[in-house]
Amino acid sequence: MLVLVAPGQGSQTPGFLTEWLELPGAADRVAAWSDALGLDLAHYGTKADADAIRDTAVAQPLLVAAGLLSATALGVDPSAADAAGRPGAVAGHSVGEITAAAIAGVLDDTAALSLVRKRGLAMADAAAVTETGMAALLGGDPDTTVAHLERLGLTPANINGAGQIVAAGTAEQLAALEADKPEGVRRVVALKVAGAFHTHHMGPAVDALARAAEALTPGDPRFTYVSNRDGATVASGTEVLKRLVGQVANPVRWDLCMETFKELGVTALLEVCPGGTLTGLAKRALPGVRTLALKTPADLDAARELVAEHTA
């Protein structure tokens, strides 16, 4: 059984969209999205530097656009009647949940990109109130690490499994963490994000996103949809959309998503562009599961072979 996953913010790198735009029809598609959003996705995906694409309002729609482009190039079609070539399940990490929702047919591409544009702007506004950020902690016991973070006033915003927890909070709290790491943690790595996402700092963004969601009419997912709020499978499009809104200010439980993948009988995991982060976690947490990350179009042939081998 194949699981298709979409990465979250921080996975973008300068120029990562360049080769994808060379695929037939891709540049026109991205140009249409850019016009609809009032954001030049092609520029940010090909020419902008790391600081420019770190901006939350830019990074989030850019990541969703990249994920949708790569899924289309792979041949994923939620409307196809034939189950052959279709993933058994989809999931996304943080903003990647919007990519996953579009891949599953909950939202069409335009609705997904409109929602993520508003999400990015609202989260950027919320992040501007206080200087905040996020840092990945590698190694250590999860319970010990979470308790240590809470003592420092930090939130375990992403519990990713495979020995990785991401802390979020103010600049002062993160500095205190760097000086006082939890027992067993090998490294603390600052992330390329501009705020304390998935914490109470994002409360104002939830309200803005809820208003944006009221204008949408979601469909029910056509693949099994795994929510990163709690690893649950969600069959209602209305419930998926509700979770997308609330998840902005709640921790990501990717560890529980991977537990659900095991229960579903996953045999292969494929990460859409810009892949790498989630396949890295899967290699450590899901031994024996084949993994592949779509980084450039050169990965498509191997990805199609993987899909053929692990779908009905």
Query: Are 7 and 277 in contact, with CB atoms under 8 Å apart?
Result: yes
Rounded to 5 degrees, φ, ψ at 140 are: 90, 165
Q: What is the pLDDT of residue 311?
A: 86
* Per-residue confidence (pLDDT) for residue 157, from 0 to 100: 94
Tokens of 238: 């209305």
Q: Which amino acid belongs to residue 15?
A: G
Which pLDDT belongs to residue 82? 57
In the prediction, which pLDDT does 74 show?
A: 93
Choices 3.40.640.10, 3.30.70.250, 3.40.30.10, 3.40.50.300: CATH for 132-190: 3.30.70.250
Mean per-residue pLDDT pooled into runs of 10, the chain (312 residues): 95 96 96 96 97 94 97 83 75 97 96 96 92 93 94 94 92 94 92 88 93 95 96 98 95 96 97 96 95 97 94 76
108: left (phi over 0), alpha (psi -120 to 50) or beta: beta
Whether the model pTM is above 0.85: yes
Per-residue pLDDT, 78: 73
Q: Write down the CATH superfamily of domain 2-127+199-306.
A: Malonyl-Coenzyme A Acyl Carrier Protein, domain 2 (3.40.366.10)
Phi, psi of 54 (to 5 degrees): -80, -25
From the list 55, 53, 62, the residue with the least C-alpha distance to 14 is 53
Place of tokens 């997904």: 112
For residue 304, give the H/E element and its range: helix 300-310
Catalytic residues: 94, 198
**Helix, strand, or coil (residue 260):** helix
Q: From CA 145, how far away is CA 184, in angstroms rounded?
A: 8
- CB-based burial of residue 62 (10 Å sphere; 0-12 exposed, 13-18 middle, 19+ buried)? buried
State the CB neighbour count (10 A cutoff) for residue 217: 10
Q: Are strands 233-234 and 89-92 parallel, antiparallel or unpaired?
A: unpaired
Neighbouring CB atoms inside 10 A of 312's CB total: 10
Domain boundaries of the chain, sorted by first residue: 2-127+199-306, 132-190
